[in-house]
Structure 1
Amino acid sequence: MQNTPDSHAILRVRGLSKQYANGHQALHALDLDIWRGEIFALLGSNGAGKTTLISIICGLVNRSSGTVLVDGADNVTDYKRARQKIGLVPQELSADSFETVWNTVSFSRGLFGKAPNPALIEQILKDLSLGTIMNWYAILAIYRYEMSRTRRTLLQSIVAPVISTALYFVVFGAAIGHRINEIGGVPYGAFIVPGLTMLSVLTHSVSNAAFGIYFPRFTRNIYEILSAPISHFEVTLAFVGAAATKSLFLAAIILITARLFVPYEIAHPIWMLCFLALTALTFSLLGFIIGIWADNFEKLQFVPMLILTPLT
């Protein structure tokens, strides 16, 4: 952008240096101007001083020398006015990860001695599309991440279950299905299609949802909770929705594959979709509960192996 002589630097850094007690020089005589309305990004390798610079500007780390002016206010001698101009979004866990956006913003105002102003907060959240009841941005972020995990593990998530189910169609449908008597006027090959499809849906709904929430717990990094206020219901909705979607996608592929080996007709497609969706959502919720309950990988497989598998 072009800076006119009367343009004003919203951030002005002059001769900023930082040397730690162990002798490490993180910053050395840094000069920086960021103009009003300008978007500025810091790029550099680890140890370049990016975090140190941001921490000094925000008043989290003491500088060794130099000055930092935030909209004309020195961030040391006039720190209250300077920090009122700064909004920091840290990577670390927030004060309450399950708090609403409204309450988080209200709490932040109180940190700087600002009086409650519900009308202003409501207008800001409305302008940023954050004033709705549901935090759809956070839900969509978890949903997309879980769906992308399926693409990264395509062989395990899609190809393997489709091939294993297709073997049943080959053996019991195409190979020996015609030798078995019809059941209720339905050829045996077509008779087993709904059962095998439902079996794949319920087993993978449980495993997808359970692993989806358990693995972030295992690594102790549920990134969406670390980065945005999101409720328990929204977390559940995102993980369960992604697991159910993957199971329905798998069911569609299995039905298409079965048609290659076994001739069948779908008499009531709407009811079929309803039952598939209900099964996927129900067992995805069960898998989510298992993922929350389990504290090791052995417990993660306890219910599917010892309860669900014998029942099927």
Structure 2
Amino acid sequence: MGAPKQKWTSEEEEALRRGVLKHGPGKWRTIQKDPEFSPVLSSRSNIDLKDKWRNLSFSASGLGSRDKLKVPRTKGPSSSTSPSSQTPLLLPSNKVAEALPSADPEKNSQDGKIPNSMVMEALHEIGDPNGSDIEAICHYIEQRHEVQANFRRLLTAKLRRLIAAKKIEKIDRAYKITESYGAKSLLATKSPSPKKDSAKPLKASQKGSLAVKSTALDAAAVAAMKVADTEAKAHLANEHMMEAERVLKLAEETESLVTLATEIYERCSRGEVLTIMQVAQSKFEF
């Protein structure tokens, strides 16, 4: 590879034109490896070819009313690359347009497209609440990425498309991310991702310990229920016992009254006259 500032010779320019006509613009490495052009362009890199072709394209676009461009006519691979062995050919304007790189940044694969993420990253990282002008955006991107010569023009077109898509908005001469798009981006960033179960499988000893604990807890719960049931039954039995004692006492008192009535009846049958006071004061042995 030669020095990047080495002046191009007419032979090199002619070889470049013939290479583009044969392989098309952008095929710089293919043109370099073509045996028809490699002897002349051996001291040039693919970057040199691209830059030189851009300069030639700009020169060709300023021809004014001229619609023809002199380019060499190719006759297939030849061992001689001398300019005298080639005859110039005048091509129609439509053929020249096909050989020239496209001026539309959207269609030119060599110039490339500016990804949306590059512009959105610049606006987000600059973080100016009032927005960032195109100079600040361009400076931020140039400091972090390798850009082409017409990057400023491509950036302007990209900003217009982002405004049309309502991803950014323009305030005076500054650009900023719209609130709706910023909220969507934040929500997508913070959306939780499903976590995998990080629990490790239990060992056999741990499983046995858990089984013993579970069995002990179940047994304690059953025992507590039985104790509560027993206490309830004991309380009910105590109430029944007290009721039985009360009934027994009533029976004894009733039996005493029956005995007294029988005694009074027998004495009255024998002709004795008894008063209530006598009955009350009498002492009977039962």
| Structure 1 and Structure 2 fold alike (TM over 0.5) | no
- RCO (CA 8 Å, sep 6+): is it higher in 1 or 2? 1
Larger Cα-atom Rg? 2
Instruction: Name the TM-score, length of structure 2 as normaliser.
Output: 0.21
